[in-house]
């Protein structure tokens, strides 16, 4: 891997963190940074919880809970059990060890520190060396519109277990959210080789990032190609409610529909080998698509997919350089 290469990976929660782990095995902290959805963030029991930032932090620091993908390994639940006994709100499971992160983050934010600085402090303390950047230091919470009315994201996702029928999404506050200067600088670097959209939920993990004014434009204007990995395999979501949302929004739950959703953001698209039949639909178009094994069960699966995605980005980058201006 060339030392002058640089990649940026856009990611949400558990699905994205799998590819992030594979990328981290290949690329050092000077070569790889992460841009993370904070639309899932919310205030709960007086604490600021940043689920996607924490899922990635725990994954990269080797501390993630292997059973859930979110939260910490070797967790205990005395706090939430005690809270239950007191009649408190316990639909969102905060583990005892995890709680320390939310308490520290909340205190720092209350003292006026930006989320990006607190994120850096937490990641450094846990030994994560790669930059993990929130999409903005400004709040932009995702609202899920359902046939039963609007729901704050975690109320839809955890409290209601994604049961309500989705009619649309809103990124409240996005218009006033600003991207981090370090993200814009990373994107403007002529050495940027590839921008990777991890196999996260397009609607509630990646779209909130793209809704931050200036980010989509900066991604498009970058010297690097944007390559997305499909979170839909054989019509099903590997993790979470993506396929259910697509069905409710009357979009076919296919990898091709994911590519269409991202539209002109993408230069390259990776769909699963099980969906190779869809490749014909991309031939002759602007978007270059390839098939690869995208189901990641083990670390070698993650590294294999990361290797394929990086190589694909390099090829697209090289052909872009070769093309007449
Ligand atoms: N997801 C759940 O399905 N149930 C939970 O009780 C839950 C608690 C939780 C606590 C801390 C944290 O960082 C994440 C947590 N998640 C939980 C995951 C989470 O809210 C979602 O996976 C994401 O927001 C979607 O990416």
Cβ partners under 8 Å of residue 252, min gap 6: 246
Q: Which residues line ligand 1 (CB under 6 A)?
A: 12-14, 40, 49, 51-52, 54, 70-71, 92-94, 98, 154, 157-158
What strands, in cross-sheet order, belong to the sheet with 166-171? 149-152, 142-146, 166-171
Residue 87: its pLDDT value, please?
A: 98
Residue among 184, 205, 245, 225 at smallest CA distance from 323: 225
> Has this prediction a pTM greater than 0.75?
yes
Q: What's the rounded Cα separation, in Å, for the pair 202 and 208?
A: 9
Residue 4: its pLDDT value, please?
A: 83
Residue 3: its pLDDT value, please?
A: 55
The atom of ligand 1 lying closest to the CA of 91 is: 6
- Residue nearest ligand 1's atom 25 by CA: 13
- Residue nearest ligand 1's atom 14 by CA: 51
Q: The dihedral of CA 69, 42, 32, 219: what is its sign?
A: positive
Task: Give yes or no for a contact between 290 and 270, defined as CB atoms under 8 angstroms apart.
Answer: yes
- What is the whole-number distance in angstroms between the Cα of residue 165 and the centre of ligand 1? 20
Task: Give yes or no for a contact between 33 and 5, defined as CB atoms under 8 angstroms apart.
Answer: no
Backbone torsions φ then ψ of 9, nearest 5 degrees: -115, 125
* Count of C-beta atoms within a 10 Å radius of residue 74: 8
Burial class (CB in 10 A: 0-12, 13-18, 19+), 14: buried
List Cα–Cα distances, 143 to 119, 152, 159, 251, in angstroms. Answer: 23, 5, 14, 20
The atom of ligand 1 lying closest to the CA of 51 is: 13
| Average confidence (pLDDT) per 10 residues, the chain, 325 residues | 82 96 98 98 98 98 94 97 98 98 98 98 98 98 98 98 98 96 97 97 98 98 97 91 95 96 97 97 95 97 98 95 65
Q: Residue 287 carries which DSSP code?
A: S
- Residue nearest ligand 1's atom 9 by CA: 93
The atom of ligand 1 lying closest to the CA of 40 is: 24
Task: Give yes or no for a contact between 224 and 194, defined as CB atoms under 8 angstroms apart.
Answer: yes
Q: Tell me if residue 106 falls in helix, strand or coil.
A: helix
Residue 320: its pLDDT value, please?
A: 80
- Residue nearest ligand 1's atom 8 by CA: 93
- Domains of the chain, first to last: 6-145+172-322 (3.40.50.10680)
């Amino acid at each position: 891997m060339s030392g002058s290469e640089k990649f940026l990976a856009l990611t949400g929660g558990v699905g994205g963190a799998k590819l992030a782990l594979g990328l981290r095995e290949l690329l050092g902290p000077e070569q790889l940074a992460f841009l993370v959805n904070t639309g899932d963030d919310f205030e709960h029991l007086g604490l600021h919880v940043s689920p996607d930032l924490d899922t990635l932090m725990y994954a990269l620091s080797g501390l993630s809970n292997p059973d859930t993908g979110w939260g910490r390994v070797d967790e205990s639940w005395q706090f939430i059990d005690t809270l239950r006994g007191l009649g408190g709100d316990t639909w969102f499971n905060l583990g005892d060890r995890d709680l320390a992160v939310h308490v520290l983050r909340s205190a720092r934010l209350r003292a006026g520190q930006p989320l990006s600085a607190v994120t850096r402090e937490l990641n450094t303390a846990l030994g994560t060396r790669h930059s993990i950047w929130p999409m903005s230091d400004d709040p932009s919470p995702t609202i899920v519109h359902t046939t039963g009315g609007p729901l704050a994201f975690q109320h839809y996702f955890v409290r209601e277990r994604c049961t309500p029928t989705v009619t649309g999404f809103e990124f409240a506050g996005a218009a006033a959210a600003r991207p981090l200067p370090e993200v814009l600088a990373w994107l403007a670097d002529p050495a940027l080789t590839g921008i990777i959209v991890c196999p996260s939920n397009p609607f509630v993990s990646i779209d909130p990032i793209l809704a931050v004014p200036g980010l989509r434009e900066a991604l498009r204007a970058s010297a690097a190609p944007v390559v997305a990995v499909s979170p839909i395999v054989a019509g099903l979501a590997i993790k979470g409610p993506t396929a259910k949302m697509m069905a409710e929004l009357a979009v076919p739950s296919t990898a091709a529909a994911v590519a269409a959703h991202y539209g002109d953001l993408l230069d390259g698209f990776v769909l699963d080998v099980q969906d190779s039949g869809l490749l014909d639909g991309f031939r002759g178009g602007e978007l270059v698509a390839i098939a690869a094994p995208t189901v990641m069960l083990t670390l070698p699966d993650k590294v294999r997919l990361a290797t394929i995605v990086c190589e694909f980005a390099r090829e697209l980058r090289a052909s872009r350089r070769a093309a007449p201006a």
